[in-house]
């Protein structure tokens, strides 16, 4: 599926949203919890987690395990929820530093693999379904430092939605962790959006193939970021529409 760039439409929706600010504490809490479930479910489901959105809500809000579902799936939901809380704390900052990215991964992953949580991989990895080969482990520390050093310049140069999409794309390309790179990239993307005054963007699991194909296009030669930026802009647009709907209901 081909996606149109929705940045102009997003900016119009943001103007409408900004007119409603500042939000009261009750509204902010309701919105935060709404997106906690949606982002945790969708981001995990994109990577094969078997919990439904309702089951994710039960695990996070009631602390109940779902019979017949792998314990790893529960750990992913709980860990992502903890990383989500950090996401909101970091959103008050005006910068993104390397330790923030590592901590987002650590919180998501430590119940699953404590030794590798928040640490760069020491082994080579193969990504199925693509010819793209992630960088060798020895290159990762330098690549991550170079990536993070470029963030302030990218923030100034790019539209916030483009900025968020490129952060996602760049982190996935470096593939710094043994596992959880996609989820960490989506958390990083949403951190950038929140810091710039936008809303949480959710990629529905039904669009998994579109998401994978758009990322693959950023890794081909000649490299093109437009399909992925357009996809993310479409997701932000839908989130902005949903956000306004929620504000009208609260």
**Catalytic residue annotation:** 175
CA dihedral defined by 178, 180, 186, 189, rounded to 10 degrees?
Answer: -30
Is residue 175 classed as helix, strand or coil in its secondary structure? coil
Angstrom distances, CA of residue 111 to CA of 43, 44, 54, 106: 17, 15, 22, 9
Q: Burial code of 205-237, b = ≥16 C-beta within 10 A, e = fewer?
A: bebeebbebbbbbbbeeeeebebbbbbbbbbbb
Quick check: 127 and 175 in contact, CB under 8 A? yes
69-78, long-range: CB within 8 Å, 24+ apart, which pairs? 72/112, 73/44, 73/49, 75/111, 75/112, 76/44, 76/49, 76/108, 76/112, 77/40, 77/41, 77/44, 77/49, 77/51, 78/111
Non-local CB neighbours of 166 within 8 Å, separated by 6+ positions: 154, 158, 225, 229
């Amino acid at each position: 599926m081909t996606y149109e760039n929705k940045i102009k439409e997003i900016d119009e929706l943001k103007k409408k949203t900004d007119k409603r600010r500042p939000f009261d504490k009750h509204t902010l809490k309701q919105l935060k919890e709404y997106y906690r479930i949606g982002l945790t479910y969708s981001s995990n489901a994109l990577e094969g987690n078997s919990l439904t959105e309702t089951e994710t809500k039960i695990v996070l809000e009631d602390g109940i395990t779902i019979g017949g579902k792998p314990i790893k799936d529960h750990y992913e939901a709980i860990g992502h929820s903890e990383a989500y809380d950090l996401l909101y704390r970091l959103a008050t900052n005006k910068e993104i530093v390397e330790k923030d990215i590592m901590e987002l991964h650590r919180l998501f992953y430590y119940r699953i693999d404590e030794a590798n949580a928040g640490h760069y991989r020491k082994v080579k990895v193969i990504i199925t379904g693509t010819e793209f080969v992630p960088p060798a482990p020895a290159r990762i520390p330098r690549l991550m430092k170079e990536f993070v050093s470029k963030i302030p310049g990218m923030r100034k140069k790019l539209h916030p939605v483009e900025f968020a999409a490129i952060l996602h794309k760049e982190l996935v390309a470096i593939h710094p962790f043994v596992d959880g790179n996609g989820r960490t990239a989506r958390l990083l993307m949403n951190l950038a959006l929140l810091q710039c005054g936008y809303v949480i963007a959710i990629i529905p699991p039904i669009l998994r193939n579109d998401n994978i194909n758009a990322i693959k296009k950023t890794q081909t030669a000649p490299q093109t970021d437009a399909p992925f930026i357009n996809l993310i802009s479409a997701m932000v647009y839908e989130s902005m529409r949903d956000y306004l709907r929620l504000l009208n209901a609260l």
